[in-house]
């Protein structure tokens, strides 16, 4: 969710020699040896560092938003996550994310200009870590194309997995240099995670953000650092870039999905357009955001983790028809048990969100599955097989509209844990 926003501003969290000049040159010079040692890579060229006021940072973010986030993209995300109850229907998503990232950013590396920017006025105790974190991004950019990852469209799950690699390494390397390896002994990493969450909770705009937005922004840093720790242990001397890049949040969340005998690659889902109207926006959720959706409504971490486990691919689209907007979301599962459990969770959620006692809400069972009518919308949950795969189809469409799964195509995948 909203990874495109998070990728625009790298971090806001505190280090051999360098020919870097200008502001913070001393911090850069102190940080580079530890970064090169921690990553096993050397800078091909000295990084460029510049200072920016917070007002200049906001102007930079506004311009990047205007250049890279289309109106259809932001509107489509707002409709999708609003219909799923993950953000308020009335939220001005573009403005909120701009305010949120302006609050968050103390420094960022821009792959387009190849410049590391530090925000004037950042707390002195914070600057050392921010410089180190962003220097890792500058180094990563010299060995892989950060810009192409950040600019990718239509595969949110894969992009979030890649972002977890970049942010996870940029978190882990400075932490190990600052706190030493003892910080990651049993219990140590839990304390670090708690400190990061407490720091974020102290920021007013972040603290006011919907749960799903908070967790989406934290995921690349926290889960990404855990993935990098495992990668360094399993693949010493290798880098997690390019051919080694994970392709789904499932591979970030489950060690066996990435480090097992064979990677558990996601099924690619292609959804045909609706019979009427157009596709406003299309993307995927991935296992992590599916888990967020379940937790948002079930409020039980074990239920959410279990309900999303077995995910093997998904695709959604936001449609615009003469009768109004709608969403279509098809998920693929490793087994019929996994699919049935997710379908059951969906029914629990819909029964809770739209009980029959609510005005203008009715529920019924049809040959197409469980159906809920809410005002001028019909929500349908259907589970079955497509091309020999176990799938669950969730639609939230204007009353009178329907979606036919006959044109859906599935490719790849088939992995199971």
Q: Per-residue pLDDT for 4 more than 60?
A: no
Cα–chain center distance at 28: 29
DSSP code of residue 181:
G
- The stretch 53-64 carries a mean pLDDT of 89
Q: Per-residue pLDDT for 166 more than 90?
A: yes
Q: Per-residue pLDDT for 5 more than 70?
A: no
Residues in the chain: 417
Residue 76 CB-density burial (10 A; 0-12 exposed, 13-18 middle, 19+ buried): buried
Give this prediction's pTM: 0.90
Residue 367 CB-density burial (10 A; 0-12 exposed, 13-18 middle, 19+ buried): exposed
Question: What is the per-residue DSSP string for 224-244?
Answer: HHHHHHHHHHHSTT--SSGGG
More confident residue, 371 or 159: 159
**Strands (DSSP E) along 192-303, which ranges?**
267-270, 278-283
* Residues carrying CATH 3.40.1000, the chain: 267-412
In the predicted model, what is the mean pLDDT of the chain? Answer: 87
Q: What is the pLDDT of residue 308?
A: 98
Per-residue pLDDT band for 230 (boundaries 50, 70, 90) equals very high
Q: What is the pLDDT of residue 140?
A: 96
The CATH class of 267-412 is alpha beta
Per-residue pLDDT tens for 207-225? 999 999 999 999 999 999 9
Contact 317, 284 (CB under 8 A): no
């Amino acid at each position: 969710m909203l990874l495109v926003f998070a990728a625009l501003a790298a971090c806001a969290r505190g280090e051999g020699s360098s020919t870097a000049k200008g502001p913070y040159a001393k911090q850069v010079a102190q940080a580079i040896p530890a970064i090169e040692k921690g990553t096993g890579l050397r800078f091909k060229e000295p990084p460029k560092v510049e200072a920016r006021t917070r007002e200049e940072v906001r102007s930079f973010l506004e311009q990047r938003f205007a250049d890279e986030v289309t109106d259809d993209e932001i509107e489509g995300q707002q409709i999708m996550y609003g219909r799923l109850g993950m953000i308020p229907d009335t939220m001005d998503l573009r403005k909120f994310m701009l305010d949120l990232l302006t609050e968050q950013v103390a420094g960022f590396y821009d792959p387009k200009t190849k410049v590391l920017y530090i925000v004037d006025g950042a707390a002195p105790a914070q600057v050392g870590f921010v410089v180190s974190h962003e220097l890792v991004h500058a180094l990563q950019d010299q060995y892989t194309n950060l810009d192409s990852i950040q600019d990718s469209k239509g595969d949110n799950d894969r992009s979030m997995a890649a972002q977890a690699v970049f942010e996870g390494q940029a978190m882990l390397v400075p932490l190990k240099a600052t706190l030493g390896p003892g910080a990651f002994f049993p219990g140590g990493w839990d304390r670090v995670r708690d400190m990061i969450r407490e720091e974020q909770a102290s920021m007013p705009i972040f603290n006011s953000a919907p749960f799903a937005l908070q967790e989406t922004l934290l995921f690349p840093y926290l889960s990404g650092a855990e993935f990098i720790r495992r990668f360094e242990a399993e693949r010493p001397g290798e880098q997690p870039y390019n051919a080694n890049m994970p392709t789904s949040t499932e591979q970030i969340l489950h060690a066996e999905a990435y480090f097992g005998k064979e990677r558990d690659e996601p099924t690619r889902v292609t959804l045909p357009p609706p019979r009427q109207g157009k596709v406003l926006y299309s993307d995927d959720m991935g296992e992590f955001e599916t888990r967020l959706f379940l937790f948002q409504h079930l409020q039980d971490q074990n239920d959410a983790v279990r309900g999303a486990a077995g995910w093997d691919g998904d695709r959604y689209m936001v449609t615009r028809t003469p009768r109004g907007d709608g969403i279509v979301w098809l998920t693929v599962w490793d087994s019929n048990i996994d699919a049935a459990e997710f379908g059951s969770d969906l029914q629990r959620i819909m029964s809770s969100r739209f009980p029959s006692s609510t005005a203008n809400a009715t529920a019924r069972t049809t040959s197409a599955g469980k159906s809920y009518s809410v005002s001028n919308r019909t929500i349908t949950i259907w589970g079955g097989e497509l091309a020999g795969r176990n799938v669950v189809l969730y639609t939230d469409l204007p009353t009178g509209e329907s979606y036919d799964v006959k044109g859906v195509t599935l490719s790849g995948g088939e992995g199971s844990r």
